[in-house]
Structure 1
Amino acid sequence: MLLATACVKAGRVRAWRESLNPPAPDVPDAAFVVTRLVLVTMAVVLTVTGVRVLARRSLRPLRRACWRARGL
């Protein structure tokens, strides 16, 4: 969802914003670049975190079995 949001064209956002509030000041291109970088970074961090959490939970029964086999 974050990546899809980052892919929205600046012209489309400007048109939508103008339809809601015509006298609003224009948003500079740099703001769109920064927003895209933030959204892509958030998507990457959340994906890596999710994979790590799922991997850790799926390995938990294996670790317990190893500890029991060692007598710990």
Structure 2
Amino acid sequence: MTNETLAHSPRLLTPDQRKARDQARRADAEQAMREHEAAQKAFYANKERLKAERLAREAQARGRQRA
């Protein structure tokens, strides 16, 4: 075998290493999902706040036009 062949051979993991890797990946994925959900909640809360402010401004502007 040449050095090139060894460099491209798959890394063999023991069952314990594979289990640890899978647990770490699962933990990373769960953290990413929690962060994504928090960002989504913040986004929609801000969207609703801005919508309420816009509707209030529009209602106030309509009230001034009638007066």
Q: Does 1:51 align with 2:42?
A: yes
Q: TM-score, normalised by structure 2?
A: 0.56
Higher RCO, Cα 8 Å, sep 6+: 1
Amino-acid identity (%): 17
Alignment gaps of 5+ in structure 2: 1-14
Aligned residues: 47
Q: Which structure 1 segments of 5+ residues have no match? A: 1-24
User: Which of the two has higher C-alpha Rg?
Assistant: 2
Q: For 2:43 and 2:34, how far apart are their aligned partners in 1?
A: 14
Question: Moved runs in structure 1, 4+ residues, more than 4 A?
Answer: none
| Alignment RMSD (CA, Å) | 2.3
TM-score if structure 1 supplies the norm length? 0.52
